[in-house]
Amino acid sequence: MSLVRNFIEDWSRYRRSINEGGFHEYEHMWGMVIDLDKCTGCNACSVACYAENNLAVVGEEKFESGQGMHWLRVERYWDEPNIGNERVRDTQEHGGSFMPMMCQQCNSATCEPVCPVAAAYHTPDGLNAQIYNRCVGSRYCANNCPYRLRYFNFYSYYEDSWPSPLDMQLNPDITVRDKGVMEKCTFCVQRIRSAKNTAKMENREVADGDFQTACQQTCPTTAIVFGDLLDHDSEVHKLWHKFQTKLGTTKQKKDNPELRGYRLYEQLNTEPSVTYLERVRDV
Amino acid sequence: MAEETTTIAAKDIDEKIAWAKINSDVLRSMENPRMGYWLAIGVSIAMLMVGIYSEVYQYNTGMGPANLNNPHMWDLYISTFVFWIGMSHSGTLLSAILHLFHADWRKPIYRFAEAMTTFSLMTALIFPIIHLGRVWNMHWVIPYYSDRGIWPNFRSPLVWDAFAITAYLTASVLFLYIGMIPDLAICRDNAVGWRRRLYTFMSIGWRGDDRQWRNFRKTYLLMACFLIPLAVSVHSIVAADFAMAIMPGWHVTSFPPYFVAGALYSGCAAIITLFVLLRYFFKFEQYMTLPILEKTCKLTFAIAMVWSYLNLIEFASVWYGHDIPAKEVLIAKFSGPYSPFFLGMLFCGSVLPFTLAFKKIRRSPWLLLPISIFLNVGMWLERYMIVAPTLSLSHHPWTWDVMWPGWVEWGIVFGSFGWFGLLFLIFVKVFPSVSMYEVKEMVYHRRRVIFEDAELRAHEVKTGASGAQPLTSTPEGS
Amino acid sequence: MSKSEFDRRDFLKVMGVSGVAATVAGCDMPSYITSEEGAEEVIPYLSPEEYVIPGVGVWYASTCLQCPAGCGIRGRVREGRVLKLEGNPTMSLNSGKLCQMGQSALQSHYNPDRLTTPLMRKDGALAEATWEDALALMEEKTGPSSGISGHRFAWYTGSVSGHQNVLLKAHLEAMGSSNHFVHEVINTRVWQAVCKEMLGQSMPTLRIDKAGLVLSFGADFLGTWMSPIQFSAQYAAFRSGDERGMLIQAEPSMSLTGANADLWVAVRPGTEGIMALGLANVLIHKERMDASVLPPETQELIARYNVSITSRITGIAGDRLIRIARHLKNRSPSLVLAGGPAAGHTTGFEAVQAAMMLNILLGNVGETIEANADFAFPQLAALGGGTTDLNRFAHAAGSGQLDALFFDGSNPLFGAPDHMNLNEKFDAIPFKVAFSTFMDETTARADVVLPIASAIEDWGTHVAAYQNEQHEIAFQQPLMEPIHPLTRSFGDLLLALNAMRSPGTYDEIDDYYGYLQSALGAIPGVLKGEDAAEDDPLDIQLWNQILQDGRLEVPAETSLFTTSVSIKDITSPPTDEAFPYYLVPTPRSSLYDGRHANLPWLQEAPDQISKVVWTSWAEIHPVTASKLGLEEGDLIRITSASGVLEVPVYIFKGIHTDVVCVPMGQGHTEYGRYAKGRGVNPLKILDPGEDTRTGELALYGTRVGLAAAGRAGRMVKMGNTESQHGRKIVATITAEQQRRNEGES
């Protein structure tokens, strides 16, 4: 009988949670805002990520084969389809369009349901976690990621990515991944954990600004804002609110449709936690 | 003379064959392998060795040398997996479905088709395993109770795959084995040495008495009924691997029936290939007759048309839909770097089967051999064209990339053919590749038909009545 | 100052903690790798060494030496290893931010190709030697008994500042020489000279954040120009103010700053100054701006460059010039900057002058260009390098004027164009000592190679050349113990050299650390009270505070501008039949001038513009490409009067049609496994030529011919598309829309 009762309770909680946006039981809901107008495309975030997260340098040959491990890649496009500049005429009048792309930490992530061993799962922090130990390397998650932001260890990169003493730089807070494991941006989960531990020891909640992700911390123009979306005093919550991006929708309903916030491919209903603010050009 | 040929040719099997001759012909095929056989075995083993070497290399090095990369996380492994799964549908079609439909002409050819089912499943099973980045942890996909209480993710189509394939493999092995028991008893009675011990063990005391036959019939019928939904589901689930994904070109509702049709298609084509080869090498001309070949061809043609139709449905639904990335993938298939393969697939899969519309071709085995092989090349290309272009062109343009498989992938795909060939070659020398008891049934039935025919004609002559009912109902049992 | 009370090592552990303890990780191995043997050593939990608490990261402040901007950094140290660098938030220069070059300083420190032992040339080849032998040889060749003195001795360094500069000067004085060549390929010397002449100050404070419009003639202030991190922060404020600022970039090939411009204009190389004059013409004659701030001669000169003439020379459409001028007028205060591409010509000085004249005409001086002070301690101020010194050095070495050369922090043999024949001239110097961390091109030709500590293992003080209104001395302190036991601190070596040449002067000083402490103690009000007696002890609390902050703010008394305008005419480069194209050897904020080519992170970091990794490439315009029949990745042959390069092409529209741009940084023939034998070095084929006023090399003045090499090269690139294919990836809205929605919030 208890089985049935549990089932009914779970189900009703699930139904309730859908009405409330699905995230009411979360402790935190880590989210990000990236202002594409401030982003200069300088690539500092990407290298900071390499330094923080033990990302392997794969070398020219493997990079050429598309086996690079840049969790955070800065993409650069030359056209501007949104202002009708589908084809650049004779000069690149408005510069380039830069796009820092890290795992969007989707809240209805396409990678999670397809993993046969549940190595890709959702944490109560609203993160897409990847359990390296559990991963069997079916790579289904990466195939199903519309953003293509999952990176697979095609080789045992550690064997020649950090010739001694470069290996002394490796961050002991996270692992070095071996071949056959999928990996991706974690929103610097080791920093989240340590901030939570510190807050717990000090008997308080994690406050906004207790920690920063590596990319956010280094960003010379402060284009990246990271924080807890459930914390109404956090900078990131304020920005989401200001630009009227919300979770739980495939199309943002805004009072003013020209407000800059959008999430990448939200029409796919992946519920990303990263809001991009549109790039602005004086034309 | 011409008249004579047509009458003989119209018969699926000659009713004059003596039962002892059937036994001896089939048993003869299992004995005294000739030089060519050993050569074939050698080639198969060599191919298999290439595959094993590649896999060992990959095991030690990682998935990198297979040229997999960020957009192309899957490639030849998964497409070849789908290909082999598809091949496995032939046996089920011939033995189970046609059994239920009482299509007697299936009888001389269903045994090797069933063997093909089993062996191609065993080949297919290799691929999802070796495509894992960490093969040594493959058992984590299987639900088993562990102290840590960790289960696989039941939402994942890959887990469904694991269930479906293992169930289907078990069922088809059982089906093959059960159907073989009366024949194994015949073998037992004619064998000496290790073969005798093997057949004695495997024929589990078959004496051919009435109770055994009745139980056998029931079991066989039940297994057939059980296997059909399984076969449909297994390929639907393989289709779900793709259809459940969000990727353009995979996210297609019609994929399950499309995959099943494709599977039956490639299975039929493979049957034709093996039909021609076995008929020639084992001198089975009297059993694997041209009318049967013709019927197989007609069946293949019908399935080819179903497959082509489903293909068109897919194109149309993408074309008239609003999924821009999916449309781009479709256009890229026709015009991009993959277009030779895609157009090749359309040619092999939808144009080439029209040759089967000609009776001349349907009845010339040596023409059918290359045709059937090309049909299967087309079907392999179809699987490759499902996997690769979508990964090349998905939602996010930044990672668009065309990739060609690396040597390790080719090595393993090559090796899989060796593995299949080896299993099949061993099978045809150890087990009867033509069902003796069912051929006898067929011959018996044929005799009865002729007899009743003669009766009827005599009756017609006597009474002058015309338009008599043809007698096609067959009595159950043999 | 007497001997310091603290052992250096203990000091590092106890004092330099900047208060931010990070990371308590539960399950880490309580072990660390000792640098000497690579053996694991177990740290007992019961009595751990001070500040080596397993699993606890401690942050120490220091200074980034990856480029001359001199940003403050903090390094996270755990179990005796430095793991990650972040910007130092207390430094006003970079306020907690860091670029990718700064992040990669770790890899320079942990690099597997570091020099670990002294080397001496024996029988023509460098062989391992001991410090004693090396120093003995140096004493023999340059010591008091060597007989060498005067200008026959020289130091060759990169930009130096702080107490390093003091000691270098002291050494040169002791040697009786004034030959200090300071080499920096990427520099702002022309800008400084122009500011000095026209404003009376060489480094005025720039306020991009206050500007309504920035017009930049090739100044890549987001990438490599002057103090990019500081300017990036200003840029963020500039973009997000109530009224979003507008950035117009005019340059021959797109820089990172250009890629962020609202309006990017391709200008024919060498005509930037004429464009500035043309804009002034429009402003005065079309927009009716008051030209009375300009002297009559200048007004006459401007009057010559009307729209059609300017348009013809610069290749910029007339209506565009008018539009830019209108924006300049309407969006006051504006800011006009001029960087390398404008300055790197024989008339570079005049071009930058013309840009500065625009600032004066538009009334930006005092608004977005603020007066700054000279550094309070001139002996510590930055000695910014340039390419003038490279030329001077080539001349001195070529004419046999040098007997001994010490060099540090610079790689002239990589940066020197082939026409200088610097290799031979360098070899002709009888005695060359390299103070080096890597076996670079120059070090490989030295007679004695001394392995020095990396920037992360050393003490130091640094003063950035460009200071904002807050002047500060940046402190460099070791973030960990030396990895290689045989390396020595450059400061210690300088002290030793000084002691060698002038015995007795430095007897009381243990090491460079002690020297720094005593030198700062000698400044009143820094480590002691204002009226303290000379032998009062130092206030260690204050010293600790300085190390924790990583900086010491020094008073800056702003002086006033003295504006003077006198502009000469600019001759635009003539057309050249044999070499119709211009070579632009642009610096990028990753490999910089080539000094970072040995850092795998930066090699694998895609270039901001082309997204190419691990190699060199040439950027050309599609029009040029189709003229030459080139597709992306094909090799192009670039021929100048001084040499030939073959390099794969990247084709895009952010470049003038007559320009080929080859970023500098690759093409090393030495410099470790990551750099050696990769790509080409565009500096090698530069033509002779220099700015007539400052003597800086005309880096952007080389004329080249282009041809297809007829085969495909290898160019590894991230991303296979340049286009969004109609998707909403980087969505763009117009500034008009943005103003409507966010303007007054």
Share of chain C above pLDDT 90, in %: 57
Question: Measured between CA atoms, how close is B387 to chain C, in angstroms?
Answer: 19
* Region of C336 on the Ramachandran plot (φ > 0 left; ψ -120 to 50 alpha; else beta): beta
Residue B375 shares a structural domain with residue B463:
no
Count of CB atoms situated within 10 Å of the CB of A28: 21
Contact between chains at C107 and A165 (C-beta distance less than 8 A): no
* Interface contact A68, partner B, CB < 8 A: yes
Contact in structure between C456 and C82 (CB atoms under 8 Å)? yes
Tokens at C216, concatenated: 């930049």
Per-residue pLDDT of C414-437, as tens digits, reads 999 999 999 999 999 999 999 999
Residue B456 shares a structural domain with residue B347:
no
Residue B406 shares a structural domain with residue B467:
no
**What is the distance between the alpha carbons of residues C42 and C648, in angstroms, rounded to a whole number?**
51
Contact between chains at C83 and A95 (C-beta distance less than 8 A): no
Number of H helices, E strands in chain C: 23, 31
Contact between chains at A148 and B399 (C-beta distance less than 8 A): yes
Chain A residues whose CB is inside 8 A of the B395 CB are: 146-147, 265, 268
Q: What is residue C378's predicted lDDT score, i.e. its pLDDT?
A: 87
pLDDT of residue C2 exceeding 50, the answer is no
Q: Which of A282, A230, A280, A275 is nearest to A258 (CA)?
A: A280
Q: What domains does chain C contain, in order, with CATH numbers?
A: 119-184+377-454+488-522 (3.40.50.740), 189-370 (3.40.228.10), 581-717 (2.40.40.20)
Number of H helices, E strands in chain B: 18, 0
Chain A residues whose CB is inside 8 A of the C208 CB are: none
Tokens at C705, concatenated: 């011919």
Residue in chain B closest to A110 (alpha carbons) equals B246
Confidence of residue A216 (pLDDT cuts 50, 70, 90): very high
**What is the distance between the alpha carbons of residues B119 and B441, in angstroms, rounded to a whole number?**
27
pLDDT of residue A157 exceeding 80, the answer is yes
Residue B14 lies in a domain: no
Tokens at C405, concatenated: 């050369």
The single-letter code of the amino acid at B434 is V
Query: What mean pLDDT do residues B62-73 have?
Result: 89
Going from the C-alpha of B287 to that of each of B75, B197, B277, the distances in angstroms are 41, 28, 13
User: Rg for chain A (alpha carbons), in Å?
Assistant: 20
Contact between chains at B400 and C721 (C-beta distance less than 8 A): yes
Per-residue pLDDT of B408-457, as tens digits, reads 999 999 999 999 999 999 998 899 888 888 888 888 887 887 777 777 77
Count of CB atoms situated within 10 Å of the CB of A18: 10
In a mutational test of the B interface, the residue from A135, A138, A139, A151 whose CB has the highest number of chain B CBs within 10 Å is A138
Pick the CATH number of A23-277 from 3.20.20.70, 3.40.50.2300, 3.30.70.20, 3.30.460.20: 3.30.70.20
Count of CB atoms situated within 10 Å of the CB of A277: 27
Assign A5 to helix, strand or coil. Answer: helix
Q: Looking at the partner chain, which of B397, B399, B401 has a beta carbon nearest the beta carbon of C727?
A: B397
Contact between chains at C735 and A70 (C-beta distance less than 8 A): no
CA dihedral C207, C210, C213, C216 (to 10 degrees): 10
Query: What mean pLDDT do residues C674-679 have?
Result: 92
Contact in structure between C494 and C175 (CB atoms under 8 Å)? no
Contact between chains at C239 and A99 (C-beta distance less than 8 A): no
Type and span of the H or E element at C547: helix C540-549
The ipTM of this complex is 0.92
pLDDT of residue B476 exceeding 60, the answer is no
Q: What is residue A71's predicted lDDT score, i.e. its pLDDT?
A: 94
Contact between chains at C721 and B324 (C-beta distance less than 8 A): no
CA end-to-end distance (rounded Å), chain C: 57
Residue B3 lies in a domain: no
Q: What is residue A21's predicted lDDT score, i.e. its pLDDT?
A: 53
Per-residue pLDDT of A179-200, as tens digits, reads 999 999 999 999 999 999 999 9
Mean pLDDT computed over every residue of chain B: 86
Chain A residues whose CB is inside 8 A of the B159 CB are: 116
Contact in structure between C64 and C85 (CB atoms under 8 Å)? yes
Q: What is residue C17's predicted lDDT score, i.e. its pLDDT?
A: 41
**Chains sharing 3 or more CB pairs under 8 A with chain C:** A, B
Contact between chains at C727 and B395 (C-beta distance less than 8 A): yes
Residue B25 lies in a domain: no
* Interface contact A36, partner C, CB < 8 A: yes
Residue B13 lies in a domain: no
Confidence of residue B20 (pLDDT cuts 50, 70, 90): confident
**What is the distance between the alpha carbons of residues C480 and C482, in angstroms, rounded to a whole number?**
6
Contact between chains at A66 and B395 (C-beta distance less than 8 A): no
In a mutational test of the C interface, the residue from B393, B398, B399 whose CB has the highest number of chain C CBs within 10 Å is B398
Chain B residues whose CB is inside 8 A of the C725 CB are: 328, 397
Chain B residues whose CB is inside 8 A of the C724 CB are: 397
Share of chain C above pLDDT 70, in %: 92
**Chains sharing 3 or more CB pairs under 8 A with chain A:** B, C
Bridge-based pairing of strands C205-206 and C551-554 is unpaired
* Interface contact C149, partner A, CB < 8 A: no
Type and span of the H or E element at C645: strand C643-651
Per-residue pLDDT of A20-42, as tens digits, reads 555 556 788 899 999 999 999 99
Question: Measured between CA atoms, how close is C594 to chain A, in angstroms?
Answer: 18
Residue in chain B closest to A152 (alpha carbons) equals B70
Going from the C-alpha of A112 to that of each of A21, A187, B129, B427, the distances in angstroms are 19, 17, 20, 43
Structural domain including B458 reads: 439-478
Per-residue pLDDT of C267-301, as tens digits, reads 999 899 999 999 999 999 988 888 888 899 999 99
Tokens at C537, concatenated: 């002890």
Residue in chain C closest to A261 (alpha carbons) equals C731
Query: What mean pLDDT do residues B371-398 have?
Result: 91
> Tokens 């840009």 identify what position?
C355
Query: What mean pLDDT do residues C25-32 have?
Result: 38
Question: Measured between CA atoms, how close is A131 to chain B, in angstroms?
Answer: 13
Query: What mean pLDDT do residues B100-123 have?
Result: 86
Residue B5 lies in a domain: no
* Interface contact C608, partner A, CB < 8 A: yes
Q: Looking at the partner chain, which of A66, A115, A137 has a beta carbon nearest the beta carbon of B71?
A: A66
Confidence of residue C36 (pLDDT cuts 50, 70, 90): very low
Query: What mean pLDDT do residues A219-240 have?
Result: 92
The single-letter code of the amino acid at B325 is P
Residue B11 lies in a domain: no
Going from the C-alpha of A236 to that of each of A98, A105, A250, the distances in angstroms are 21, 15, 20
Chain B residues whose CB is inside 8 A of the A77 CB are: 398
Contact in structure between C646 and C637 (CB atoms under 8 Å)? yes
Contact between chains at C726 and B396 (C-beta distance less than 8 A): no
Residue B256 shares a structural domain with residue B389:
yes
Supply the DSSP string of C74-103, one letter for each residue: EEEEETTEEEEEEE-TT-TTTTT---HHHH
Q: What is residue B396's predicted lDDT score, i.e. its pLDDT?
A: 92
* Interface contact C23, partner A, CB < 8 A: yes
Residue B160 shares a structural domain with residue B295:
yes
**What is the distance between the alpha carbons of residues C390 and C433, in angstroms, rounded to a whole number?**
17
Residue B146 shares a structural domain with residue B89:
yes
Contact between chains at B156 and A110 (C-beta distance less than 8 A): no
Q: What is residue C112's predicted lDDT score, i.e. its pLDDT?
A: 94
Question: Measured between CA atoms, how close is A211 to chain B, in angstroms?
Answer: 31
Contact in structure between C258 and C217 (CB atoms under 8 Å)? no
Give the count of domains, chain B. 2
Residue in chain B closest to C721 (alpha carbons) equals B398
Per-residue pLDDT of C350-379, as tens digits, reads 999 999 999 999 999 988 999 988 888 888
> Residue C503, class by beta-carbon neighbours within 10 Å (0-12 exposed, 13-18 middle, 19+ buried)?
exposed
Residue B1 lies in a domain: no
Bridge-based pairing of strands C72-78 and C57-63 is antiparallel
Question: Measured between CA atoms, how close is C98 to chain B, in angstroms?
Answer: 27
pTM, to two decimals = 0.89
Q: What is residue C451's predicted lDDT score, i.e. its pLDDT?
A: 95
**What is the distance between the alpha carbons of residues C474 and C452, in angstroms, rounded to a whole number?**
20
Going from the C-alpha of C627 to that of each of A88, B64, C624, C706, the distances in angstroms are 19, 39, 5, 10
Contact in structure between C693 and C427 (CB atoms under 8 Å)? no
Per-residue pLDDT of C306-349, as tens digits, reads 999 999 999 899 999 999 999 999 988 999 999 889 999 999 99
The single-letter code of the amino acid at C47 is S
Q: Which of A15-19, A113-117, B405-409, C128-132 has the lowest mean pLDDT?
A: A15-19
Tell whether omega for the bond before A165 is within 30 degrees of 0, i.e. cis. yes
Confidence of residue C27 (pLDDT cuts 50, 70, 90): very low
Contact between chains at A101 and B395 (C-beta distance less than 8 A): no
Residue B473 shares a structural domain with residue B373:
no
Angle at A160 between CA A157 and CA A161, to 5 degrees: 65
Angle at A123 between CA A122 and CA A124, to 5 degrees: 125
Chain C 26-85, CB below 8 Å of chain A: which residues? Answer: 26, 28-29, 33, 35, 38, 55, 78-79, 81-85
In a mutational test of the A interface, the residue from C116, C615, C729 whose CB has the highest number of chain A CBs within 10 Å is C729
Question: Measured between CA atoms, how close is A135 to chain B, in angstroms?
Answer: 8
Residue in chain A closest to B397 (alpha carbons) equals A147
DSSP assignment letter at C474:
E
Residue B178 lies in a domain: yes
Tokens at C614, concatenated: 């691990």
Mean pLDDT computed over every residue of chain C: 86
Count of CB atoms situated within 10 Å of the CB of C8: 18
Angle at A150 between CA A149 and CA A152, to 5 degrees: 140
* Inter-residue long-range contacts of A87-94, CB under 8 Å, 24+ positions, other chains counted: A88/C653, A89/C653, A90/C623, A90/C653, A91/C264, A91/C265, A91/C266, A91/C653, A91/C654, A92/C254, A92/C259, A92/C264, A92/C652, A92/C653, A92/C654, A93/C263, A93/C264, A94/A281, A94/A283, A94/C261, A94/C262, A94/C263, A94/C264, A94/C732
pLDDT of residue B30 exceeding 70, the answer is yes
Q: Looking at the partner chain, which of B141, B241, B399 has a beta carbon nearest the beta carbon of A136?
A: B141
pLDDT of residue B186 exceeding 80, the answer is yes
Supply the DSSP string of C488-534, one letter for each residue: B-HHHHHHHHHHHHSTTTTTT--SHHHHHHHHHHTSTTTSS-TT--T
Contact between chains at A258 and C740 (C-beta distance less than 8 A): yes
Q: What is residue C26's predicted lDDT score, i.e. its pLDDT?
A: 33
Q: What is residue B309's predicted lDDT score, i.e. its pLDDT?
A: 94
CATH code of residue B168: 1.20.1630.10
* Region of C65 on the Ramachandran plot (φ > 0 left; ψ -120 to 50 alpha; else beta): alpha
